[in-house]
């Protein structure tokens, strides 16, 4: 649908607003893809050596592995901001299209269902849509994988994770989710837009395992990185 609409009304680039492109060549080149060997084997944070990071060795998250397509920086940050706060829902399709090769070829996980992290009722009423759903749904369709928009539900309202410490984030989302029985014996992919510590995705994975999921992988569009001078692999 969005592709047909672009033929009638040429889009503006999600990253830089360049007219006539959904995701222009300059933004494709500027996107910092998070791949390579120097990522934590579990949470995917860039590091200076192979293996698991210190945080995952200390306390392993509930998901098997977390990966993000790109660094939370220009132009991906701009696109997610427009999708989340400026109601440009067509960018969900645009970002899913950009992520497809990374997810299909680089990750190639054996997932059977895709599930978005849900918004709380208050935020959903304010926004009118879940921005993660706008990305996860077309990505699942492109992968040919079953999509469960309500595979996870929030069973308590939580504060925004922005500005919280890692421990505060863990406490904030502890037992925040409940999973649908349809995930039983399934390999699930739980998705969010941005990951920082992975606390929200870990809480979602915990709920999926409690509902009988066979395994859980985690994926985000972008990864917010600490300002610690680590080089990207």
Q: In the chain, where are the structural domains located?
A: 32-223
Write the pLDDT tens digit of every residue in 72-94.
999 999 999 999 999 999 999 99
Backbone angles phi, psi at 48, to 5 degrees: -90, -5
| The predicted structure's pLDDT at residue 122 | 87
> Where do we find the tokens 């992975």?
198
Instruction: Work out the average pLDDT over 149-154.
Output: 94
Write the pLDDT tens digit of every residue in 167-190.
666 656 667 799 999 999 999 999
Backbone angles phi, psi at 61, to 5 degrees: -65, 165
User: DSSP assignment, residue 152?
Assistant: E
Q: Rounded to whole angstroms, how far apart are CA atoms 212 and 125?
A: 30
DSSP state string for 45-82: -B-SSSS--HHHHHS--SSSEEEEEEESSTTHHHHHHH
Q: Rounded to whole angstroms, how far apart are CA atoms 147 and 132?
A: 12
Q: Rounded to whole angstroms, how far apart are CA atoms 157 and 121?
A: 8
| The predicted structure's pLDDT at residue 175 | 75
Class of domain 32-223: alpha beta
Q: Is the pLDDT score of 64 beyond 90? A: yes
């Amino acid at each position: 649908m969005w592709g047909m609409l672009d033929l009638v009304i040429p889009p503006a680039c999600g990253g830089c607003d360049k007219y006539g492109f959904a995701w222009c060549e300059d933004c494709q080149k500027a996107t910092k893809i998070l791949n390579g060997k120097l990522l934590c084997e579990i949470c995917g944070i860039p590091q200076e050596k192979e293996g698991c990071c210190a945080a995952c060795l200390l306390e392993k998250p509930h998901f098997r592995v977390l990966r993000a397509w790109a660094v939370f920086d220009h132009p991906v940050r701009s696109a997610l901001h427009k999708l989340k706060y400026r109601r440009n829902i067509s960018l969900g399709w645009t970002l899913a299209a950009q992520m497809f090769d990374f997810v299909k070829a680089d990750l190639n996980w054996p997932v059977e269902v895709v599930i978005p992290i849900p918004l709380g009722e208050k935020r959903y009423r304010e926004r009118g849509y879940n921005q993660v759903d706008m990305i996860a749904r077309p990505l699942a369709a492109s992968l040919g994988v079953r999509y469960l928009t309500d595979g996870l539900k929030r069973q308590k309202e939580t504060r925004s994770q922005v500005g919280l410490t890692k421990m505060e984030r863990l406490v904030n989302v502890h037992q925040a989710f409940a999973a649908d029985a349809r995930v039983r014996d399934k390999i699930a992919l739980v998705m969010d837009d941005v990951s920082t510590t992975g606390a929200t995705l870990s809480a979602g994975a915990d709920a999926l395992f409690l509902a009988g999921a066979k395994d859980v992988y985690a994926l985000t569009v972008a990864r917010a990185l600490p300002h610690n001078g680590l080089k990207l692999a």
